[in-house]
Amino acid sequence: MVKQQVESAVNGKIRCDACPVMCYISDGKSGACDRYANLGGELIRVDPLTILEQRADTGGAVVAFLTDEGQEEWSGDLVHAGTPFVTAVGAGTTYPDYKPAPFIVSQKQNGIDMVTVVTEGIFSYCGAKVKIDTDRFIGPETALVRVDGEPVGHVTTGEYGSQMLSIGGVHHLTGGSKKEGRVTCDALMRLCNRERVDMQVDGGAALSIEAGCPPVINGVEESRMRVGCGSATIGMFARQWKSMVDEVVVVDDHITGVLSEHQAGKLLDIAPTGIRIKGRRSTPGRYFQVAEPGTGWGGTTISDPLAILGDFDAKVAYPGLRMLMISTTGEQYGYYILDEQLVPRLQTELPPAIRETVEVVAENCEPALVSVLFVGGAGGSLRAGVTSNPVRLTRSVKEALTHVSCGGAPAYVWPGGGITVMVDVMQMPSNSFGYVPTPAIVAPIEFTMRLEDYRALGGHMEAVIPVAQAVEQAERRIPVPAQSGWPMAEHHFKWGA
């Protein structure tokens, strides 16, 4: 139970100053955010302060600490567990600006005096980048994404085998209606806490997404991410197909591949087949815009792959020509033989050798997953909780004197001005994110550095406490294996700079 300093009380209610809402909370009740409560006249942090315990006995095996279910109970043996790291999960916030961070913890690491500044930041300037592994069309770029009818983000550029969403941001949180802000904040918090969120894309698909799980698109759960574009698929499997068929077409919304025309086919001396593809020819064996984006074959609108074929060239094609058509995930495929009129006829029986190649394509497709990366900018109040001169913290981070983590997970710091961090929520402890009703997201962030560097940047030295004192207040302990991502690992810091 983490206690907070109380600045005022009125009629038996205490004022919580953890955010600008400044709730007055009755005894036994919690504030509007459900993260702070009045317990006998003392303001407490409801969620447990969380520490990571570096384990020495895992043998390099990954310890499942992403959910609370099924975790082994902590034995209390700190010596066996190894070095503790106090995360900001459950620590409390820095608001208002003049307060030092809730925990500024000192300990020795490899004989060096270190300090970790621990705080939950209030992020209005924040959002989530969501990667959805699928070729399915989810909506046009820039189309609004809605939750409960309110705009919470938009579709952004598709990446290789994935569709991308940008969710949240200050304009949705505070720039629209009150309902838009509330819905956006709730959707962001649930996404980052690895909960399922249902969304609708304007002019596109209905989505049901949860970090670390397969996406559900228009009620259908995805299972595979594409092996590559149509051209890449030709290149990967051309040798296997050479002796089995005369032609292969890999149907793809982006780049449809044709074996006999492709450079891979040329190098393997595969003869021309007289095939004609409806679409815009790029380089040999590569075609753009064979169909509109959709949820059919290869992320197109088609359900019959023959729809992208024109008539075969009678001067080149011949009866009995064998053709395999397959999608980029291997989920759709068809084996055809040209009849006497050079019309492709679907064969009900797939030769075993060809079936094996279809299975190899499927085998090389990674599982379709949803990835959620929280992105936030560390603003003035957060940095003031670290140092009396906030710009020095920014410079220290950029100079690699200070390592930034979120809930103990490694955070990528964007280049350029400020401290804009991005972190994979799957690497963070469960329930790491909360909210305040302004609305804004509450997210953990930690700054670790040498004690002498902390003093030099104008840190709140009077607030530094030994790690043992912080550990005494922790109610949640998560064992993690010794690994390169450990927040206090030496390689994170540029020593002697």
Locus of tokens 């024109």: 310
Instruction: Note the pLDDT of residue 326.
Output: 97
Tokens of 303: 């359900």
* pLDDT for position 409: 93
* Residue corresponding to tokens 């001396």: 269
pLDDT tens digits along 361-407: 999 999 999 999 999 998 877 899 999 889 999 999 999 999 999 99
Instruction: Select the more confidently predicted residue: 453 or 46.
Output: 453
For tokens 């077409």, name the residue. Answer: 249
Residues in the chain: 497
The pLDDT of 191-220, averaged and rounded, is 97
Place of tokens 């900018």: 377
Least confident of 45-54, 227-236, 417-426: 45-54
For range 116-129, the mean pLDDT: 93
> Nearest-CA neighbor of 220 among 230, 205, 239?
205
Q: Write out pLDDT tens, residues 24-39.
A: 888 888 887 777 788 8
Q: Please state the separation of Cα 172 from the chain's center in Å.
A: 20
* Residue 246 φ/ψ region, left for φ over 0, alpha for ψ in the -120 to 50 degree band, beta for the rest: alpha
Q: What is the mean pLDDT of residues 219-224?
A: 94
In the predicted structure, residue 74 carries a pLDDT above the cut 60: no
Q: Check if the beta carbon of residue 265 is closer than 8 Å to that of residue 285.
A: yes
Q: Report angle CA 404, 408, 411 to the nearest 5 degrees.
A: 40
Is the pLDDT reported for residue 6 higher than 90?
A: no
User: So what's the pLDDT on residue 14?
Assistant: 83
Least confident of 8-17, 268-277, 280-289: 8-17
**What average pLDDT does this structure show over 136-148?**
96
Amino acid, res. 276: R
Residue type, 65: F
438 vs 174: CA distance, rounded Å: 8
Q: pLDDT tier at 12 (50, 70, 90 boundaries)?
A: confident
Query: Where does the pLDDT of residue 79 fall: very low under 50, low under 70, confident under 90, or very high at 90 and above?
Result: very low
Domain boundaries, the chain: 47-121+379-406+414-424+442-492, 126-225, 230-363
- Residue 69 tokens read as 């279910």
Closest alpha carbon to 287 in 318, 310, 315, 313 = 310
Closest among 345, 336, 326 to 249, alpha carbons compared: 326
Residue 1 confidence (pLDDT): 52
Dihedral of alpha carbons 341, 343, 347, 352, sign: positive
Residue 146 clears pLDDT 80, i.e. is over it: yes
What mean pLDDT, rounded, does the chain reach? 88
What pLDDT sits at residue 482?
A: 59
Measured distance CA(223)–CA(215) in Å, rounded: 8
For residue 159, pLDDT over 60 is answered with yes
Q: Find out whether 279 and 287 touch, Cβ atoms under 8 Å.
A: yes
How distant, in Å, are the alpha carbons of 16, 186, 244, 432 from that of 31? 8, 16, 69, 18
pTM of the model: 0.85
pLDDT-based confidence at residue 484 (cuts at 50, 70, 90):
low
Which letter does DSSP use for residue 387 in this model? B
Lookup: tokens for 13: 């209610």
Structure tokens at 215: 């996406």
Q: Pick from 403, 404, 398, 444: which is nearest to 418 by CA?
A: 398
- The CA-atom distances, in angstroms, between 152 and each of 144, 190, 202, 225 are 7, 13, 12, 26
